Structures are given as structure tokens and as C-alpha cells.
Amino acid sequence: MTNKRKALITGINGQDGSYLAEFLLSKNYIVYGIERRTSSINRTNIKHIEDKITLLTGDLTDQNSLLRCLKEADPDEVYNLAAQSFVKASFEMPIQTTDVTGTGVLRMLEAILEHNPKIKFYQASTSEMFGKVQETPQTETTPFYPRSPYGVAKLYGHWIVKNYRESYNMFAISGILFNHESERRGHEFVTRKITDGVAKIHLGLQDKMYLGNLDAKRDWGYAPDYVEAMWMMLQKDIPEDYVIATGKTHSIGEFLDAAFQCVGITDWSGYVGQDERYMRPAEVDLLLGDSSKAYKDLGWKSKTSFNEMVSKMVKNDIKLLSKT
């Protein structure tokens, strides 16, 4: 018999899932991950820990598969990090985004209710739910106004978690995480697109990169700092939702400043163009989070500065591209 706690992570192959798996292993957890069965599975982010975790096949669009995974893992904690999480794509695939990112949360809650309602559940909510912001900075009580099918789907997930917490007395909570990036961020995200582009320009592999809105402002933190907050929320006696953010905002232009400075370029205007294809139909102009409740209740605060994070990402992309 083992007394080790068990955790089940959806989206384990993604940025957050892989860092969370590492963190939970360091806390002596037995870690299970759910991955979708596809013709080509990308395990790049978990390759170094694959022998320390157990991977199960499941899908947020298939409730029976979720129930089977719960029975197999029998976890103490479930972290729902899987989603169709690319905002621009949600305008092109609104129904799929809603099915996975919104209704998928309900399917997991229903499966937990059937298997073991005492399981602690973490839902990855997002600052995109604030959208057209109603106040600045945004806190746990700021009204929501999502501006994309992704934001709307996440808002459904957020509210259904709250509803099940209050209706069935479940320990089910949402972390409203503001933008958080890292070396493991997918290439379709603007931050990784920038650091990859800077690395390619630096190495002479590319002349120019094309982006959308350069004026959008985001509160960017470092993903490994943020997964610790997820775990902290589930260790509390009382289930509550928390905003997780740095409390500082930067424009895409400032991200470009920081990234190009890593390779000694101060004027990047000749290396960056704008392309209408990368513009969102409805833009979110400014996101800035206030995580003082998380600091007060959990003792959590962001450890890695904006410039440190950007530097880590650029250096990593240079290293990866130098190998090819």
C-alpha cells in the first residue's frame, strides 16, 4: 500500500501540464496524464519524465473515456488543463472550441461526481474571460466580458465549476491565470512566434517576421511559477477561485523590445511587419491582473521577471535552432 497522493492531469503534453507534472513529481505524487489518441502524439514536453508518469488515453469530448481514466488513476486531485487554447483559432472553430474548452469541463465534473465526488478539482480559467475589461486591474470580482469563442467557452467552464461547487459541495475551483509563457509555449502563440523569429533572424535563417496587433497589452508571467499556484489552491481547506498574475502589463511592442535586445538589436522596425491575417475579429486591448488575494491567502507571488522570461525563451530558441 502506498500513501502517496495521486494526481490526474488533462493536457499533460502542453506547456502547463508538463511543468505541473514535474512539480507534482517533486512533491512525491504519483502522476497520471490524459492524452488524446491521435495518429501522431507530441510528447516533446514530457520526454524527460515519461518513465516517471502514467499516460492514459482519453478525450474531453468523450465522457466515458474520462470516467475510465478516473477509475484507472483513482486520483486525489484532478487538474483540467486541456483545451483548444489558441484564441485566433477559436473564431475559425467555435463549435469545437466550445465542445472541448467549455462542455469538456462539465463532462469531467460529471465523471468525478460519478466516480468519487471527494476528488479535488482544478479548472484552468483565463484572463481572456475579462476580454473588454470593465475595470483595471482585474480581480476575482471584476465582471467578465469575453471577446472570443475561446473566452466564452472558458467562462462557461468557470461558471459550471462554481455551480457544481455550490450545488454538490465539491472541492472544485478555478484559477484565473493571466498570460504565462515559457520555452515550452506552442509556436502558434505570439510570444513564442516572436522569440523563435528573433532567434531565426539572429542566426540568419529568416529576414522578417509578421505579426498582428502590436499594441495589445498583456500581464505576462513565467509558466513554472504559475503551476505552483494551481497546486497551492487545492491544498486549502476551503475551495476558492484566485487570480494569478504579475500585476505588470507590457505591449507586444515591449515584448519585441525585450526579445531583440537579447540578440543586441535595439531597432527592430525593419525586421517586423504586420499582417491582417493575424488580427482578431474582436481584440482584447489590455489585461492587468491583481493577485493580492493569492498572496494573502496562499503566499503566492510571481518569481520570474518579464525580461528574465523573455531572455530564457530567446536563448532556448537559439539553442534549439542551432541544433538543426
pLDDT in tens, 4-17: 999 999 999 999 99
Band of residue 256 on the pLDDT scale cut at 50, 70, 90: very high
Residue 257 has a CB neighbour count (10 Å cut-off) of 17
Band of residue 324 on the pLDDT scale cut at 50, 70, 90: low
126 is annotated as an active-site residue = yes
The correct CATH number of 6-180+220-244 out of 3.40.50.1440, 3.40.50.720, 3.30.565.10, 3.40.1190.20 is 3.40.50.720
pLDDT of residue 224: 97
Q: Is the pLDDT of residue 204 over 80?
A: yes
Query: Span 153-171, mean pLDDT?
Result: 97
- Please calculate the CA angle 161-187-269 and round it to the nearest 5 degrees: 120
223/233 Cα distance (integer angstroms) = 16
As a CATH number, domain 187-218+249-283+305-323 is: 3.90.25.10
Q: Sketch the domain layout of the chain as residue ranges.
A: 6-180+220-244, 187-218+249-283+305-323
Q: Is the pLDDT of residue 73 over 80?
A: yes
Query: Span 136-144, mean pLDDT?
Result: 96
13/46 Cα distance (integer angstroms) = 6
Say which of 35, 77, 128, 181 is annotated catalytic.
128
Say which of 29, 32, 122, 150 is annotated catalytic.
150
Query: Span 160-171, mean pLDDT?
Result: 98
Same fold: 6-180+220-244 with 187-218+249-283+305-323: no
Q: Which of 32-41, 71-80, 269-278 has the highest mean pLDDT?
A: 71-80
Say which of 126, 191, 195, 246 is annotated catalytic.
126
Share of the chain above pLDDT 90, in %: 85
Share of the chain above pLDDT 70, in %: 99
Distance, CA of 183 to chain centre: 13
99/61 Cα distance (integer angstroms) = 7
pLDDT of residue 2: 62
Q: Are 72 and 56 in contact (CB under 8 A)?
A: yes
pTM for the model stands at 0.94
Strand bridging mode 242-244 / 77-80: unpaired
Q: Is the pLDDT of residue 38 over 80?
A: no
Q: What is the pLDDT of residues 213-237, one digit of tens each?
A: 899 999 999 999 999 999 999 999 9
128 is annotated as an active-site residue = yes
